[in-house]
Amino acid sequence: MIRMKKPLTSKQKMALSAIRDLTYKKGIPPKLEELRVALDLSSISSVQRHTDALKEKGYLADTRGLSIPDSSEKVQIPLVGNVACGVPLLATENIEAYISYDASKVQDKAQDYFFLRAVGDSMNKANVSGKTIDNGDFVLVKKQSTASPGSCVVALIGDEATIKKMAREDDFVRLEPESNNPENKPIILFDDFSVQGVVMDVIKKGGKND
């Protein structure tokens, strides 16, 4: 699920964002001094005021460190924008939020994954871990530049990204929709195409991750 807790001040938001970014990059929570440098604060006591407030509001575990709650069982994976399940939509690479995800379902490093928000209905008959991809769902993607035929991939066409099932022919790549909407058609590509990752899981927009 996406964590929604008590409101934060702008400085608390900056502190939480820095903790998440440093944890995401290093794989472990940062030290107070690392956080002080990242926030350009003059003293450790200033950092502690922010981290104490984050713990009180439930955004950090109430321990001596700077761990996100349930960090032993959850990983924080960034949501980096929208992706089209239909006509390709310009992909935005700004991190909108972090989604807490079951660490046992992540292979290798959490840094190898990101979430995208699906737009459209061209994959509403897909089967990813027993789930379809509907408009508004959160799609977990593992970063990789290659994929096996039949994989559900995030494909980059020029500057635009889309989710489709990939099929390779001798001279071209065909991106197939899996939809009950006949208006969704295959996309055939001869060049200007790359795989950004393979879809591994779907969190339905209602927040369920069965």
Q: DSSP of 21-86, one letter per residue?
A: HHHHHHSSPPPHHHHHHHHT-S-HHHHHHHHHHHHHTTSS-SSSS-PPTTTTTEEEEEEEEEEESS
pLDDT band at 132 (very low <50, low <70, confident <90, very high): very high
**For this structure, is 164 an active site residue?**
yes
21 and 111 within one domain: no
HSE toward the beta carbon, residue 167, CA cutoff 13 A: 9
Instruction: Please state the pTM of the whole predicted model.
Output: 0.64
Which residues touch 140 (CB under 8 Å, ≥6 apart)? 77, 101, 113, 114, 115, 199, 200, 201, 202, 203
In a domain, 185, yes or no: yes
122 and 90 within one domain: yes
Is-contact 43 65, C-beta < 8 A? no
| The pLDDT value given to residue 185 | 94
State the catalytic residue, choosing from 122, 165, 194, 205: 122
84 and 27 within one domain: no
Query: What share of the chain has pLDDT > 90, as a percent?
Result: 31
State the catalytic residue, choosing from 71, 164, 165, 179: 164
State how far the Cα of 47 lies from the Cα of 52, in Å rounded to an integer. 9
Per-residue CA distances from 119 to 37, 83, 136, 137 (Å): 38, 6, 6, 8
Residue span of the structural domain in which 33 resides: 10-56
Question: Quick one: average pLDDT of 175-189?
Answer: 93
Domain count, the chain: 2
Is-contact 123 86, C-beta < 8 A? no
137 and 89 within one domain: yes
| The pLDDT value given to residue 171 | 84
How far is residue 98 CA from its own chain's centroid? 7
In a domain, 182, yes or no: yes
140 and 95 within one domain: yes
User: What are the tens digits of pLDDT across the range 137-177?
Assistant: 999 999 998 898 899 999 988 778 899 999 988 788 899 99
